[in-house]
Structure formats: structure tokens, C-alpha cells
Amino acid sequence: MFDINDPSSTEVKRDGAVARMVDTEGVSTGAETEAKFHPLDAQPMQMLWSTLISYYRQELERQGPNRAMQALDAAYYDNDQWSDEAREELDKRGQAAIAYNVIAQTCNWVIGSEKRGRTDFKVLPRGKEDAKAAESKTKFLKYLSDVNRDPFHKSSAFEDMVKVGVGWLERGAQDADDEEVIYCRTESWRNMLFDSTDRSLDGKGMRYVIRSRWVDEDIAIAYFPDRQAAICNSITSATTVGSYDMLDGDIAMDQAEYEREDTIGSTANISVRRKRVRLIEIWYRMPKMMEKMSGGMFHGDVYDKDNADHKAQIMAGAARVNRKLEMRVHVAVMTTTALLYNDASPYKHNRFPFTPVWGYRRDDNGLPYGIIRGLRDIQDDINKRASKALAILSSNKVIMDTGALPDDWTLDDFAAEVARPDAIIQKNAGKEMKLDVDRDLAPAHLELMSRNIQMVQQVGGVTDEQMGKSTNATSGKAILARQEQGSLATAKLFDNQRLATQLDGEITLSLVEQYVTEQKEFRITNQRGTPEFVTMNDGLPENDITRAKADFVISEADWRATMRQAASEQLTDMIKNLDPQVSLVLLDLVVDSMDIENRDEMVKRIRGINGMKDPDQTEPTPEDIAAQQAKQAQDAQQQQLVQLQMEEQQAKTDLAKANAGKANAGADLTRAQTVAANMTGALAAMTAATQVIQMPTIAKVADGLLVQGGWTGGQPVPINLPAMQGIAPQVQPAPPVPPQAPQLPAPAMPEQAMQP
């Protein structure tokens, strides 16, 4: 939080902080202007230091016994399970200090479950028009998670929580050229103290959070060059061993410093002693009147008169400014003798930069403890019985009369010979010597040790089924039931981890909206390592991530790996018995529930086949828009094709009708031509006959010819002979003619009569 390269910047902030603190307390500022006093040495600042150091010492004393137990819990995990006094007693008995570390396996399973299934997140917009900016924030937070190695820091804090009951995540902003402006770190529980009167899980009810760090003297002076005298005075003012301050600390906090000092004291060739000073960083809340935004997009933010977006919301009537009393976060850095820095928190979120990850907490005082606390007694019994059984199996008891040994043997020689598996012992005649080994007691100790190992699993909640060991549960349902039972026993720890991730994500999002204001192009990668380049704050409103507020949410709880796997198997079995069409519709949801690689890509391709959409999707993606346009174009082409097919079918129908009509017309033409030919012949005969036969006779002959030519009767029709020779009229078929009397042939005409 400090810039070593620019010490003057801390001086400017410090002067402003002093003025605010003095105004809050209502004390005159005349003393601060005197040249012989540093502003932080003024009486109001001394009173503030006295209050803050009292907070530190009170919490150190109140949490001291529990912190000692936490240190012991951590030692048990590290196989340091025998005290120095117990080891000395075992050495006197001739027993080995054996440690069968069973509880470490239980802790490792819980820790490994968190590492295997970490949670994912997304940023949601508060308005529909801010969806693009929220998407950019999600990608940038994933980029920060990669460069800051967030998953590893969170896993480290979770590991502390499992062992000792609490872990700490630190999230803040820094001025570094080679790193991102927003950082993430894990702070050891040994360096942290907190307001133990608060019982909330999110820490919003805490008055203060304190971090204590040992820093080299030259580094501390580089950070606070104007407070060099106070820093040097802090090294030698308290009770010291050499240059080491032992007054304001405990074993959990200062064990490493103890060991360092002991090493220096036992080494004779040390020419330069390493001077160290304890720096205490305390983030605390003080009541203060603040101008806050009420309503609108920036509801709850501290009003900034230089913020154009705040002014725009007020001018539009969407928000207003109210004065209200709130607990404002401040930060101070001090030694055990003086105040080095004090100012209001630079962060707009008005929260502590430290996020606790709680395990279990005592009901009487709210102090934390982990899984190991409830297993230590069982672990002690396991170790003692293992040591006792080994001692019984590897030792002998001898009962003998005085003088049973030969004169040249001593008791030490005899004890060494008895301990040998191939011992040869000689005794004096008439003396009794009996070897009593008590071998029957060893199996009893081993049986109790085995039961204690099973008890560790029952108390810790991590069963053999969860660790993949063979048990008496043979059916799949029995194994699943025991796995679920173990998951429920440890669910509280994972739920607290989920809450801590949510709180840390909200702080990170606020820092991004506050400090990431410049144009930036960054790269993110998917599960297969494919890069995607994203540009934000490039001047376009949709890419301005500081213009609008958003919300950080946890999208899924992957830490329930066993339960997710069981549910996925149940879904797979169910979908096998469904109709194939229904199975295809549900297939994307089944694959989405699996913990497999490339799951998102598989789901995406399946949804491309079955046409289903992401149930969490609120706005169409560019791929959806392109697919919809392609579908519309395909539908238009399909409709056009159907229309062409219909027109083609109609054309074929019309062509068939035309061909049928043409065939009928040809038949009619043939018949007409036949009639016309017959009529032409009849007319020719009539013409020839008109010259020799009277008209009545000619008429009868003509009627006969017409009937034979196809005439059906009716009124006489004038006949145009030239026209009939070119076009034959269509004549209907004649009805059957009734039989008539045979006509006699006409009498032959003499040739002379036919001549004119």
C-alpha cells in the first residue's frame, strides 16, 4: 500500500489525515504547526495511538490461549505430535515417540477437494444497457485471477482454515510498473488479529482488523523516512534480547523470530546483527458524516463532485446526495511506541482489505478452530498405543534371584544379551531366572489403535468410501449414501469458503471500477489454451467499465464434486430410458452437469445440433444472431423452392391438359376431314347428276350420299364448297340409322340423253 520510490506522497496524505482526525476529535490544530513537533507526535495523534495499541494488546491477550491451541493444531498436521516433556519420559522408558499421523489424511482430503473443484464466477449488469460492460468486467476479472494466481492464494487460505479455523485473503491496489494495479495475497493467520466481539461471517460488524509484521529497520525507514527516529526508538525501547522486541507478541506470531534470535545467539562468527522492528497495521472504523449517493446507478457510493457520472445521475433526477453518519474505514501503521501513518481508506468500497475464511467457531467467545481440534485426543491415543505396543513387542522382562548371573557378567551385559533375538544366557546353578515378555498385551493395544483410526474418520467426516478405499459397503447405493454423508459433514467448511470468495469478488469488482480507468488490452484463454484479446476503456460507451456498476456472483459450486458426479450419473441413467427425441433435447444439460474437460465446447456443439439455448442466457449472442439470420435465409430458400416446385407441377399439369386437348383436336380434325372428303365426293356426284336428272331425283340421291357421309339430319345448311375443301367442320358421330327398305338402283340413262 506504500510506494517506496515516492516517500513524499505519504507525507501529503499524512498531513491531510491529521487535519481530519483533529477536526473529528474537536481539538485545536495549533500544536501541529509547530516546527519542533511532527504532526503524528501531536497530542490527538498520541491519543489515537494509545487507543489503537490498546485494541492490539487486548486482542492479543484475549485470543492468546486460542492462538496457542491453533499453533498446536498446525504442529499436529506437521507430524509434531509429542511435547518435549513426553519425549523425555519415553526416552527414560526406552520407548519410541511414534506418530501415526491419521488426521493429516483427513485434512488433505478436504483440502484436495477444494483444489479439485474451484468455483467459477461472473459479473452481472444492473441495467440491460450495461451488459457489454459487465461482460468486459467478467473477462478482466478472469485475467486478474490468472496473473495474480488467485486460485492458489484462495487454496492457501482455505488450508489455514481447515487446520486452525481461519484463513485470510488480502485484496488491494498498488502502484507497480511490472504488476497489475490490483493484487491478491494470502496472509498468515499468525500475523492477524481481529475484533473478537463480532460474530458475523462477512466481518462487516468488526471495528478493526490488525496485521503485525516483522520488518528490517532499513526497509521500515525507506517506507517512512520522516519517522526514522520513532522507528529506531521502537527497536531498543522495549524489553529486548539483543535487538528483539518480546513485549507485544505471542508464540504463534513470533515463533520464527524466536528461532532466528536463538540461531544468532548460538553463532559466534556473526559480525552484523539484523535489526528488526514490529510494524502494526490496523484498519479501523470511525463514525463520520459522509455525502452519499441515494438512488440511481451509484446508490450507496460516496459522492464525488469531480465524477461526471455522479453529476449526470443527479442532473437527470435519478439520484440525490444525502448526508448521513456511517462507520468510515481508516488505516494506520504504527510501532509499539509511535504512530507512523494515518489516513482514511483509499478504497471506495469502505471495507477492510482482509477477507476472513472461517472454519468452526466456539459458541462462548467466537474464536475459530479447525478440523484438527476435535481429533487431537484421538490422535494422541493412537500414538501412545502404537508406542506401547512396539515397546511390548521389542522388550523383555527378566525375573531372577540375586547372584543368578555369572561373576564375569554385569547387568548391562545381561540386558544387551537379553535384547538380542539370538540371545544365549548362562545362569548359576540353583538360582532362578524367568523371562516374562507380556506378549498378550500388544494385540489389545493394536486393536484399540485400529478403532481409534476408525473414530478419526467418523469424527472428521471423511470416510473410506470418499477416499476410495474398500469397505463393507458393496452396493452402489450404499457407497453413494456414505459418500453423501461425509460430504454433508464437511459442507460447512466449503460453504464458508464460498462466502469468502463472494466477498473477495465484490471487493475486487469495486477496485476494478475505481482504479482500472485507462485503455487496456489484455488476453484471456479458455480451457484449451486458445487466446482471446479484449479491449476496454477505448472510448466506446459499451467498453467503459467505470461508467456503470455491476454485481459479482458465484455461478456454480464445483466443490461438491462427489455430489455433482452422483447427480450426473443419475441423469445419465434417466436419459437412457427416455424417448430419443426427448433425450436429444436434454443431452446438453446432462453434459453440462459432468466434470469433464472441454465441457463448455461440447455443450455448445450439442446445442448447435438440438437448437436449445443456454438457460442462463438473457441476451442473444453474436453466434445466436448469426444462426437466426442463417435460419431465416434457409427458410426463405425453402419457401422459394417449394413455390418453384408447385409452379413446375402446375406447368406439367397444364402441359398434360394441352397435350390431351391437342390429341382430341387431332381426332376431331381427322373425322372432319373424312366427312369433308365424303361430302366433296357427294357434291361432285351431285354436280354431275344435276345435268341429267331432275331436281327431286337429285335431291334424294344427295340425301343418301349425305347420310352415308355422316350427316345426321336437321335443317339444310348452305354449303360453301371452296371453304369445305380447306377446313373440314367437326361433325358429331351419327346416331344409329334405322333399317330402311333397300333402294333400287337408278335406271341407266342412255348416253344420248346425257348429251346436250
Neighbours of 207 (CB within 10 A): 14
Above 90 in pLDDT, residue 570?
no
| Spatial distance between the Cα atoms of 258 and 241, rounded to a whole number of angstroms | 10
| Spatial distance between the Cα atoms of 424 and 648, rounded to a whole number of angstroms | 116
Mean pLDDT check: name the lowest of 81-85, 142-146, 467-471, 664-668.
467-471
Residue 435 has φ and ψ, to the nearest 5°, of -95, 115
For residues 652 and 454, the model is more confident at 652
> Given this model, what pLDDT does residue 627 score?
74
Q: Shortest CA distance to 494 belongs to which of 154, 183, 204?
A: 154
Mean pLDDT check: name the lowest of 84-88, 351-355, 388-392.
388-392
Q: What are the cell numbers at 289?
A: 458524516
Above 60 in pLDDT, residue 730?
no
Long-range contacts of 720-724 (CB under 8 A, 24+ apart): 721/680, 721/683, 724/676, 724/679, 724/680
> Given this model, what pLDDT does residue 53 score?
95
Whole-angstrom distance between the N-terminal and C-terminal Cα of the chain? Answer: 150
> Given this model, what pLDDT does residue 113 score?
84
CA distances from 419 to 394, 402, 498 (A): 8, 20, 58
Above 90 in pLDDT, residue 294?
no
For residues 628 and 564, the model is more confident at 628
Mean pLDDT check: name the lowest of 431-445, 471-485, 738-752.
738-752
Contact assessment for residue 336 and residue 254, using Cβ atoms and an 8 Å cutoff: no
> Given this model, what pLDDT does residue 528 score?
57
Above 60 in pLDDT, residue 755?
no
Mean pLDDT of 529-558: 70
Above 80 in pLDDT, residue 383?
yes
At a CB cut-off of 8 Å and minimum separation 6, what does 232 contact?
Answer: 217
Give the best-scoring range by mean pLDDT among 420-424, 430-434, 613-617: 430-434
Above 50 in pLDDT, residue 693?
no
Contact assessment for residue 710 and residue 730, using Cβ atoms and an 8 Å cutoff: no
Helix (H, G, I), strand (E, B) or coil at 453: helix
Above 60 in pLDDT, residue 6?
no
Mean pLDDT check: name the lowest of 98-107, 344-353, 599-608, 655-664.
599-608
Contact assessment for residue 194 and residue 284, using Cβ atoms and an 8 Å cutoff: no
Give the best-scoring range by mean pLDDT among 245-254, 260-269, 289-298, 499-508: 499-508
At a CB cut-off of 8 Å and minimum separation 6, what does 333 contact?
Answer: 224, 279, 280, 281, 282, 339, 340, 341, 342
Q: What are the cell numbers at 340?
A: 507512523
Helix (H, G, I), strand (E, B) or coil at 509: helix
**CA angle, 80 as apex, 74 and 85 as ends, to 5°?**
120
Confidence of residue 447 (pLDDT cuts 50, 70, 90): confident
Q: Shortest CA distance to 21 belongs to which of 42, 1, 7, 38?
A: 42
Q: Shortest CA distance to 166 belongs to which of 401, 496, 454?
A: 496
Mean pLDDT of 665-670: 79
> Given this model, what pLDDT does residue 20 score?
33
Confidence of residue 219 (pLDDT cuts 50, 70, 90): very high
| Alpha-helix runs per DSSP H in 125-250 | 131-147, 150-164, 217-223, 228-236
Q: What is the pTM of this model?
A: 0.66
Above 70 in pLDDT, residue 676?
yes
For residues 405 and 8, the model is more confident at 405
Q: What does the mean pLDDT of the chain come to?
A: 76
> Given this model, what pLDDT does residue 62 score?
94
Mean pLDDT check: name the lowest of 20-29, 116-125, 263-272, 291-300.
20-29
> Given this model, what pLDDT does residue 262 score?
65
**Bridge partners (DSSP) listed for residue 173:** 182
Residue 747 burial (C-beta neighbours within 10 Å; 0-12, 13-18, 19+): exposed
Q: What is the 3-state secondary structure (H, E, C) of 368-406?
A: EECHHHHCHHHHHHHHHHHHHHHHHHCCCEEEECCCCCC
> Given this model, what pLDDT does residue 656 score?
86
> Given this model, what pLDDT does residue 343 score?
94
Confidence of residue 97 (pLDDT cuts 50, 70, 90): confident
How many CA atoms lie less than 13 Å away from 546 in the CB half-sphere? 18
| Spatial distance between the Cα atoms of 48 and 56, rounded to a whole number of angstroms | 13
For residues 387 and 153, the model is more confident at 153
> Given this model, what pLDDT does residue 70 score?
95
> Given this model, what pLDDT does residue 170 score?
95
| Spatial distance between the Cα atoms of 423 and 413, rounded to a whole number of angstroms | 11
H/E element holding 323? strand 320-334
How many CA atoms lie less than 13 Å away from 748 in the CB half-sphere? 3
For residues 357 and 431, the model is more confident at 357
> Given this model, what pLDDT does residue 25 score?
36
| Spatial distance between the Cα atoms of 358 and 368, rounded to a whole number of angstroms | 7
In percent, how much of the chain has pLDDT > 90? 22
DSSP conformation class of 40? G
Give per-residue pLDDT as tens, 487-525: 677 888 988 999 999 999 999 999 988 888 888 877 777
For residues 535 and 243, the model is more confident at 535
> Given this model, what pLDDT does residue 312 score?
80
Mean pLDDT of 11-30: 34
Confidence of residue 657 (pLDDT cuts 50, 70, 90): confident
Q: What are the cell numbers at 253?
A: 506470531
**CA angle, 676 as apex, 671 and 679 as ends, to 5°?**
125
| Spatial distance between the Cα atoms of 129 and 131, rounded to a whole number of angstroms | 6
The dihedral built from the CA positions of residue 127, 128, 129 and 131, taken in this order, carries a sign that is positive
Give the best-scoring range by mean pLDDT among 367-376, 557-566, 716-725: 367-376
| Alpha-helix runs per DSSP H in 461-537 | 476-489, 491-515
Confidence of residue 427 (pLDDT cuts 50, 70, 90): confident
Confidence of residue 34 (pLDDT cuts 50, 70, 90): very low
> Given this model, what pLDDT does residue 584 score?
76
**Bridge partners (DSSP) listed for residue 376:** none
At a CB cut-off of 8 Å and minimum separation 6, what does 228 contact?
Answer: 221
Neighbours of 185 (CB within 10 A): 16
Q: Shortest CA distance to 17 belongs to which of 29, 34, 2?
A: 29
Mean pLDDT of 723-743: 48
Above 80 in pLDDT, residue 634?
yes
Contact assessment for residue 513 and residue 549, using Cβ atoms and an 8 Å cutoff: yes
H/E element holding 162? helix 150-164
Residue 270 has φ and ψ, to the nearest 5°, of -85, 120
